[in-house]
C-alpha cells in the first residue's frame, strides 16, 4: 500500500495496490507495521461502525474532545464520497487547513486521522457506505460539531443543490466560533494525549531488585 501525508498534519492517505487475476482482485487495506512506520502510531481498534447514506448527504465536520479522543481510519466500502479532513487543533501548524480525498469502493482509498482532526464527507452516490475503524469507543457528549459550510473554511464541495444534513450539523458553529467558545482541543493537548508523559512518581521496583 502507498501511505502519503495530506496537507493536514497527522492525516494520511492510504492507497492499496490491487493484485488482479481472472477471479477479480486482491489488496491489503491496512498493514500495522507499514502504518506505524508512516505515522509513528500503532493501530489499536476499539470500535468499528458504518454509515449508510443516500446521494448528496453531507455529514460533519465531526471531531472528538480530549479525553477520550478518537483517532480513525475511514474507508468507502460502497458507493463514493468526497471526504474532507480539517485540522481542529488550536495551535497546530495546520490549524484550520483542510485536504480533500476522493473515496470509492473501487479504489479502496482510506484516510487515517489522528486525535483532534475533523472529518466531513459528501456522498456522491445512493447507498454509499462508509466504514470507520476507531481507536476509542464512542462516548456520548464528546462529539465536536463544526459547520461544513463555514465560509471561512471554504471547503470545496462544489454543490449543485442544497445538501441533505442533520439538524445538528446544520446548526453547528463555525470553526472561529468554536475556538472562541473554547470547545476545540489544543495541539499541545493532542500531542500529550498521543505521547503520554511517563509517571515518574511511582517507585522504581526494578531498581530495588537489582
* Residue 132 annotated among the catalytic residues of the structure: yes
Burial class (CB in 10 A: 0-12, 13-18, 19+), 101: buried
Reported as type and span, the H/E element at residue 78 is: strand 72-78
pLDDT, residue 207, reads 46
pLDDT at residue 205 is higher than 50: no
**Global pTM value:** 0.89
Per-residue pLDDT band for 198 (boundaries 50, 70, 90) equals: low
- Enclosing domain of residue 190: 2-151+163-195
Please report whether residue 58 resides in a domain: yes
- Residue 206 falls within a domain, yes or no? no
- The pLDDT tens digits of the residues spanning 38-81 come to 998 888 899 999 999 999 999 999 999 999 999 999 999 999 99
Q: Which long-range contacts link 192-197 to residues 24+ away (Cβ below 8 Å)? A: 193/66, 193/67, 193/69, 193/115, 194/41, 194/114, 194/115
* 158 lies in some domain: no
Instruction: Check 12, 98, 121, 132 and give the catalytic one.
Output: 132
Residue 42: what pLDDT?
Answer: 82
Considering the candidates 12, 62, 98, 187, report the single residue annotated as catalytic.
Answer: 62
Known catalytic residue: 187?
A: no
**In-domain check, residue 99:** yes
Q: What is the pLDDT of residues 148-189, one digit of tens each?
A: 999 999 999 999 999 999 999 999 999 999 999 999 999 999
CATH number at residue 13: 2.60.120.10
Residue 68 lies in a domain: yes
109 occurs within a structural domain: yes
Among candidate residues 3, 25, 26, the one with its CA nearest the CA of residue 15? 3
Length of the chain: 210
In a domain, 130, yes or no: yes
Q: How many domains does the chain have?
A: 1
In a domain, 123, yes or no: yes
Amino acid at each position: 500500500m502507498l501511505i502519503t501525508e495530506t496537507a493536514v498534519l497527522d492525516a494520511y492517505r492510504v492507497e492499496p495496490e490491487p493484485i488482479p487475476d481472472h477471479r477479480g482482485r486482491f489488496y491489503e487495506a491496512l498493514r500495522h507495521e507499514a502504518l506505524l512506520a508512516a505515522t509513528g502510531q500503532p493501530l489499536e481498534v476499539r470500535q468499528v461502525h458504518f454509515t449508510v447514506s443516500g446521494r448528496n448527504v453531507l455529514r460533519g465536520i465531526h471531531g472528538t474532545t480530549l479525553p477520550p479522543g478518537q483517532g480513525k481510519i475511514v474507508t468507502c466500502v460502497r458507493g463514493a464520497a468526497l471526504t474532507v479532513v480539517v485540522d481542529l487543533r488550536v495551535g497546530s501548524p495546520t490549524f484550520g487547513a483542510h485536504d480533500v480525498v476522493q473515496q470509492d469502493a473501487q479504489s479502496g482509498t482510506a484516510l487515517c486521522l489522528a486525535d483532534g482532526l475533523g472529518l466531513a464527507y459528501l456522498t456522491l452516490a445512493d447507498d454509499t457506505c462508509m466504514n470507520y475503524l476507531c481507536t476509542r469507543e464512542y462516548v456520548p457528549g464528546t462529539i465536536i460539531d463544526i459547520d461544513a459550510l463555514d465560509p471561512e473554511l471554504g471547503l470545496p464541495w462544489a454543490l449543485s443543490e442544497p445538501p441533505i444534513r442533520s439538524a445538528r450539523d446544520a446548526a453547528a458553529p463555525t470553526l472561529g466560533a468554536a475556538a472562541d467558545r473554547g470547545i476545540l482541543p489544543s495541539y499541545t493537548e493532542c500531542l500529550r494525549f498521543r505521547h503520554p508523559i511517563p509517571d515518574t512518581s511511582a517507585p522504581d521496583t526494578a531498581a530495588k531488585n537489582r
